[in-house]
Amino acid sequence: MIRIEGVDAVTDADFDGEVLKAALPVLVEFTADWCPPCRQLAPVLAAVAEEEAGRLKVVQIDVDSNPEITGRYGVLAMPTLIVFHGGEPVKSMVGARPKRKLSQELEDVI
């Protein structure tokens, strides 16, 4: 998994506690080492994590190492971004996108 500054990694084991029980909305990137668009998205997620600190938590989960959560949310393409709020998925996006577009897409959920 591509490590992104300011973005924590979650696993099948700690997903519910870190994401579903979080006080803030959480943007989860479902990612994989072999995914070129995931690498393109890394600096975008780092910037969003920094700019929205205190309003949005950003985490990533490796789909190859964490099949339970990946399957639970029906993730088939990488990168998939899902925003969770109050323990429920409230928005889903597939594919890399520029920061401006991602910020616009997040406006209604944070």
Active site residue 19: no
Query: CB under 8 Å, gap of 24 or more: what pairs does 99-103 form?
Result: 99/44, 99/47, 99/48, 102/44, 102/48, 103/48, 103/51
Instruction: Give the Cβ contact number of residue 45 at 10 Å.
Output: 26
Given 26, 35, 58, 83, which residue is catalytic?
35
Angle between helices 36-51 and 99-106 (to 10 degrees): 60
Given 7, 28, 38, 63, which residue is catalytic?
38
Active site residue 38: yes
Q: How many CA atoms lie within 13 A of 56 on its CB side?
A: 23
Residue numbers annotated as active site: 35, 38
